[in-house]
Amino acid sequence: MSTPPAARPRGDRLRLGLIGAGWIMPAHLAALDRLGRTEVVGVASARLTSAQATAGARGATAYDDIERMLDEQHPDVVYVAVPPSASVAACLAVAQRGIPFLAEKPLAATDSEGPARVAAEVAERGLVAAVGYHLRALEQLPEVRRRLGDNPARLVTGHWMDGTPAPAWWLREAVGGGQVVEQATHLYDLARTLVGEATVVGAASYRDDPVVPEGADVVDATSAVIRFESGAVGSFANTRRLATHVVDISFTSDGLLTTIRRTSPDPGRWEVTFHDGRSILTRPPGRDPYEHQAEVFLDAVEAGDPAAVLSTYADAVLTDRLTRAVVAATGRPG
């Protein structure tokens, strides 16, 4: 095994490389800007105009070639936020150069073996590598974890019901992976984090004909039942055909219902309620989870501690496998 990177001194700004310049990158950049610990030096995107739009205002250099950006700019850290079908290749390019990185979920589209190759490279080099399961960064999560530790969940129910996202890549399973792998993965990951590992009991999906919008091949809705190693059971439902949004996950314990709910289209706005049958205690959205996630990641990089991130790449592989098992249970390729 390669020697892990040494701890970095605090104070100096880290040279930041960006791979991807799509809709989620501004949320990451806003969080990083508030922390003031990084300086963008290079932006790589499949579309050079997108890279230029992000790089120009920051005095960074734009590229349409990932490896050229990495080799010319020598970033200290990299953020990867690309369509899922491009994630494995991008993460491998970064990991093979020994650069710490944070990658958006999901880890791949339909390449079920690709994430394991990245995880092996990360482990071999002892790299700090995080995955953007930002719900693990919710300010209210420690209280949820404590309450569920005292009163374990017997039933978990999750809903990701929303409209079809705008990016063209999202509509094609070969590029985006489909809604379970790309969106509902957040709920499956949070269930794993708070309740434990699980296996799929069964699942079914529905796809309308004619498909809306034209050219899409992702399904319209999926429902799944899973069983946790603790004995608890879970049910998850998702659809991309709702005009509004209902995105939540609930944990039913002995006399207590704990619900984590997205309060707006803003992916960082989540509230938590605890209902014990007598009263409802509400914890409103707190600190931006993207900012907290970034802070923990940068702390881990500076400490040279791969285990200190909120979601290691290796742990995210387990969530990836669970979502693919759900898709496979519907009869579609997982």
**Around Cβ 23, how many Cβ atoms within 10 Å?**
11
pLDDT for 1 equals: 43
Q: What is the pLDDT of residues 148-171, one digit of tens each?
A: 999 999 999 999 999 999 999 999
pLDDT for 33 equals: 98
- Give the residue-averaged pLDDT of 63-84: 98
pLDDT value at 2 more than 60? no
Q: How many whole angstroms separate alpha carbon 93 and alpha carbon 288? A: 29
CATH class of 14-134+291-312: alpha beta
Q: Is 174 exposed, middle or buried (0-12, 13-18, 19+ CB in 10 A)?
A: middle
Question: What CATH topology corresponds to 136-287+322-329?
Answer: Dihydrodipicolinate Reductase; domain 2 (3.30.360)
* Residues paired with residue 49 on neighbouring β-strands, in sequence order: none
Closest Cα partner for 203 from 236, 177, 154?
Answer: 236
Is residue 334 very low, low, confident or very high in pLDDT (cuts 50, 70, 90)? low
Domain ranges for the chain, please list them.
Answer: 14-134+291-312, 136-287+322-329
Q: How many whole angstroms separate alpha carbon 80 and alpha carbon 204? A: 32
Task: State percent of the chain over pLDDT 90.
Answer: 93
Dihedral of CA 156/162/166/169: which sign? Answer: positive
Q: What is the pLDDT of residues 241-282, one digit of tens each?
A: 999 999 999 999 999 999 999 999 999 999 999 999 999 999
CATH topology match: 14-134+291-312 vs 136-287+322-329: no
Q: What is the pLDDT of residues 21-60, one digit of tens each?
A: 999 999 999 999 999 999 999 999 999 999 999 999 999 9
What the block records as the tokens of 22 is 């799509």
Q: What is the pLDDT of residues 183-205, one digit of tens each?
A: 999 999 999 999 999 999 999 99
Dihedral of CA 277/279/285/289: which sign? Answer: negative
